Amino acid sequence: MIRHAPILPLLIPFAAALLQMACQRLAVQRWIGTVACAVLLLTSAWLALLADDGELRVYALGDWPAPFGIVLVVDRLAAAMTLLVAILGFASLLHASAGFDERGRNFHALFQLQLFGLTGAFLTGDLFNLFVFFEVMLLASYTLLAHGGGVSRTRAGISYVVLNLIGSALFLIALGLLYGTLGTLNLADVAQRLAQPGYDPALARLALALLITVFALKAGLLPLSFWLPPTYTAAGVPVAALFTIMTKVGIVAILRLQTTVLAPSLASLLDGWLTTLALATIAVATLGALAASRLRTLTAWLVLLSAGTLLLTPAQASTRVDAAALYYLVHSSLAGAALFLIAGEVASRRGPAGDRFTAGPLWSGNWLKLGFLVAAMTSVGLPPFSGFVAKLMLLDSLRSVDGGALIWTVVLVSGLLVMLALARGGCTLVWRQQAIAGEQPAPATAWQRSAATLAVVAAGPLLAGLAQPLSGWAMRTATQLHAPEAYVAGVLGGQPARQTDKGSR
Amino acid sequence: MEALLATAIGALTACGVFLILRARSFPVLLGLTLLSYAVNLFLFASGRLRLNAPPLVQAGATSTDPLPQALVLTAIVIGFGMTAYLAMLALRGLSESGSDRVDCGDDR
C-alpha cells in the first residue's frame, strides 16, 4: 500500500469524477464529491507525513523505469502542495454545495477533474506529463470559470482560454526544443544531461527560457498577468477560492525547474530580469488593489500581489529565501481564498449592492465582519496573524541579497497601500449605510458556506500559531529542494549517465 | 526536406499569429488552429526527420524516434478538445452579447 501511495492523490479525484459523470443526480454527486475530498485530504496528509522523512518516493507508472517511463515524484514540496490543494478543494466544495453547484450541469465532475490536474501537476516528474496535467487543470478551469453563466464570465472566459491556448503552444515548442536538444523530457534526466557536454547550449537555454515564460504566464508575472484580475473577479466565489492555488502551480514549477535543472548548470538564466519584473508586478498589483471597486477585484489583485512577492525568490537561489517563500506560499493561498469566500458572503447579505464599495443596506452577521477583519489583517501582514510571520521571514531572508534595499522598500510601501485599500473598502462595506426602500431579501445562509468561510479564515491565526513547526518544515523542504543530486539519483536510481546522442545524428 | 518543413512551420506560425491578433473570435480561433498545426509539425521534427524508417526499433534496421510521434498525438487530441471548447464559448459570447468580438464589446 505504501508503495502505491504516490498515485492515490491522482486516482481519488479521477475515480470520483468518473462516478459523478455516471450518476447525474445532484445529491449523489455532492456526496461522492464530499467523500472524495475528505479521502483526498486524509491521503495527502498521510503522504505529507510520509514524505517528511526526507526520502524521495518515486512511482514509476506501468513500472517503466525512468527516464523511459513517466514517474511521479513525492518529496516534501510535492506532498505539501497536494495537501494544500486538498484543503482548499474541501473548503471550496463545501461552499459550492450550498447551491452554487445547481447553476449548471456537471459542476462536481469538473471540480474533481480540476483537483486531478492540480495534484498531477505537483506530483509529476516528467515535463511532458506536466504539460498534460496543466491541460487537464486548464480545461477544467475553463468550464468552472464559465459555470453559472453570464456575459461577464463569458467575456473573461474567452480571453482566458485564448491566452492559455497560446501558452500551451509555447509550452509545446519549448518541449520540442528541449527534446530535440537533450533527447529526454524527464526532469531528473534533463538535469543530468545539462551537466554534461554534448548538446547545443544556446538551444537548451532557449528551451528553458520558453518554459519559464509559460510558467510565468500561469503565475501572473507582470507583462503576462493582465488576464488574472478580470478572470478571478468573474469566476464564481468557490471557484475563485480554488483558483488561488492555480497561480502557485506556475510558481512551484519555476522553483522546481530553478533548483533542479538551472542551479547546477545554467544558474544565470533567471538573473537580472525575474526579480525586476516581480517588483513591477507588486507595484502594479498594489495600484490595482487601490483602484478596485469591489472586494472580489481587490482580492484578485492581492492574489497577483502575492504571486509577485513569491516570484522575487527563485532568482535568489538560496535555501533560506525559499524556506520563507514556502511559508508565504501556504499562507497567501489560504488568505486569498478566505477573502474570496468572505466577499461572497458579504455580497449575499447586501442584496443589489453586492460586494461593491458603495453604501448599501444594513446587514447582520457580526462573525462575518470579524472574519473580514481577521482575513484582511492576515492578507496585508499585520501581527499577530500568519501574514505578518510570512512577511517577516521573507524580508529577513532577503535582507542580504543584491538589491535587498529596493525589495524591502517596494514590499513595505505596497503593504502600507494595500492596508489603506482594505481599510477603506472594509469601512465602506461595514459602516456606510443607505436606506433602501422596499422589502429586503433574506440573505441566503447555509451552514456549508459559513463553515467553509470560517475554516479558511481560521487558517490565518492557525498558521501563525503553528509558525515554529511550519517554518521548520519549510526549512527542511527548501533544503531538500536545493539538493538536486539527491533528486536525480532518486529518480534515475543512481544509474550511470547516458550520453546525449541527439547531436551526433 | 528540412527547408520545406521549416518553411511550412514558419508560414503556419506567421499566419496563426497574424490571425490571433484580430479582434473577432472566428479569426482568432482559426489562428490558434494554424498555430497548433505549426507546433505539431515542430514537435514531430524534434525527433529528427528520416525517410522510410518505421517508428519501431528492430535489430539491424534503421528506425525513427517514436516518442515525438506519441507526443504529437497527445498534443493533437488536447488541442482539438481545447479548440472545440473555445468555439462553443465564442458562440455563447455571440448569443449573449450580440457581438463576435473577443472582448464581447460593442461593434462601434
DSSP per-residue codes, A218-262: HHT-GGG-TTHHHHHHHS-HHHHHHHTTHHHHHHHHHHHHIIIII
Domain-embedded: residue B21: yes
d(CA A225, CA A234): 16
What's the mean pLDDT in A294-305?
Answer: 93
Domain-embedded: residue B20: yes
For residue A253, name the pLDDT band (cuts at 50, 70, 90): very high
A426-482 residue pLDDT tens: 988 888 877 665 555 565 568 888 888 889 999 889 988 998 999 999 999 999 999
Whether residue A154 and residue B92 make contact (CB cut-off 8 A), yes or no, is yes
User: How far B83 CA sits from the closest chain A CA (Å)?
Assistant: 8
Q: Which strand (E) or helix (H) includes residue B88?
A: helix B66-97
Domain-embedded: residue B104: no
Question: What would the DSSP string read from start to end of A77-108?
Answer: HHHHHHHHHHHHHHHHHHHHTTTGGGGSTTHH
d(CA B78, CA B20): 19
Domain-embedded: residue B15: yes
Percent helix, strand, coil in chain A (nearest 5)? 75, 5, 20
At residue B108, the pLDDT reads 46
Identify all chain A residues contacting B46, using CB atoms and an 8 Å cutoff: 176-177, 179-180
What's the total number of domains in chain B? 1
Domain-embedded: residue B83: yes
Indicate the burial class of A434 (C-beta count within 10 angstroms; 0-12, 13-18, 19 or more).
Answer: exposed
C-alpha dihedral, B91 to B95 to B96 to B102, nearest 10°: 40
Which residue from A69, A68, A73 is spatially nearest to A56, judged by alpha carbons?
A: A73
Residue B78: give the domain boundaries.
Answer: 2-49+65-97
Q: Cβ distance A75 to A435 under 8 Å?
A: no
CB of B48 less than 8 A from some CB of A:
yes
Chain A residues in contact with chain B using a Cβ-Cβ cutoff of 8 Å: 128, 132, 135, 139, 142-143, 146, 150-151, 154-155, 157-159, 161-162, 165-166, 168-169, 172-173, 175-177, 179-180, 502, 505
ipTM of the complex model: 0.93
For residue A110, name the pLDDT band (cuts at 50, 70, 90): very high
Q: Cβ distance A365 to A349 under 8 Å?
A: yes
Q: Which strand (E) or helix (H) includes residue A71?
A: strand A71-74
Domain-embedded: residue B8: yes
d(CA B3, CA A505): 18
Domain-embedded: residue B102: no
For residue A36, name the pLDDT band (cuts at 50, 70, 90): very high
- The residue of chain B with its CA nearest to that of A131 is B75
User: How far A193 CA sits from the closest chain B CA (Å)?
Assistant: 17
Domain-embedded: residue B23: yes
Backbone angles phi and psi of A243, in degrees to 5: -65, -20
B68 → closest Cβ in A158, A166, A179: A179
A161 → closest Cβ in B67, B85, B97: B85
A165 → closest Cβ in B32, B47, B74: B32
User: How far B38 CA sits from the closest chain A CA (Å)?
Assistant: 9
Which residue from A39, A212, A227, A180 is spatially nearest to A502, judged by alpha carbons?
A: A180
At residue B8, the pLDDT reads 95
Angle, helices A76-96/A246-257, rounded to nearest 10 degrees? 170
Which residues 59-88 of B are in CB contact (within 8 Å) with A?
A: 67-68, 71, 74-75, 78-79, 81-83, 85-86
